[in-house]
Structure 1
Amino acid sequence: MNTKAIYAACLFAALNICTLAARAEAADVTAKTYTYGTHLDIKKVLSLKQDATPSCGIVNAQMTYLDSHNKTQVLDYSKFADGCTTDN
């Protein structure tokens, strides 16, 4: 094996270890439910999800984000479905 192949294998192994560590950290996060007045410390939004619905109405949604200490947080909240853009 040449040195480039060894370096590539080491880099691949290190990236896999980092990915596993990030997944383990994210699995330990429990979702908090938003209520009026909840203090939000959002540095960066990582993902937004919502229940699928074919019609306009209120749906459950979830936001995963990093706070100012770079800790992953999950917030559950309610919102109007994305299909409500043309409805009043």
Structure 2
Amino acid sequence: MKQLIALLMAGMATVAMASETTHPSQPAVEHYSYGSKLDIAKVIHLSTIPKVCEVVPAQMTYEDHQGQRHTVEYQVMGDGCSTH
């Protein structure tokens, strides 16, 4: 039984390592707050703002001047407010 558990654990570790090499992990999401200093050299992706009339979370993935990728989450007003 111990050999079976050890074999399963080794298999799961191998799959996890293979997954990381074929699909690089996304950067951890940092939460923006007023006054945060961002070193943005290049914007990689901006999330779509939903068509609602309320404050919603949005994300931006960017590269800093050292080439490191970051994802920052911030609050924006939805894109569904009417000015009629």
Shorter-chain TM-score range: 0.5 to 0.7
The structure 1 segments of at least 4 consecutive aligned residues displaced by more than 2 Å after TM superposition are 20-23
Aligned residues: 65
1:82 deviation in Å? 2.0
1:50 touches 1:60 (CA, 8 Å); kept in 2?
no
Structure 2 unpaired stretches of 5+? 1-19
Taking structure 2 as the reference length, the TM-score comes to: 0.64
**In structure 1, C-alpha distance between the alignment counterparts of 2:61 and 2:21, rounded to whole Å:** 17
Structure 1 unpaired stretches of 5+? 1-19
1:83 deviation in Å? 2.2
Work out whether 1:29 is the aligned partner of 2:27. Answer: yes
CA-based RMSD of the aligned residues comes to 2.5
Partner of 1:80: 77
Work out whether 1:62 is the aligned partner of 2:59. Answer: yes
1:49 deviation in Å? 1.0
Calculate percent identity across the aligned residue pairs. 32
Question: Residue type matched to 1:72 in 2?
Answer: R
Taking structure 1 as the reference length, the TM-score comes to: 0.61
1:63 touches 1:74 (CA, 8 Å); kept in 2?
yes
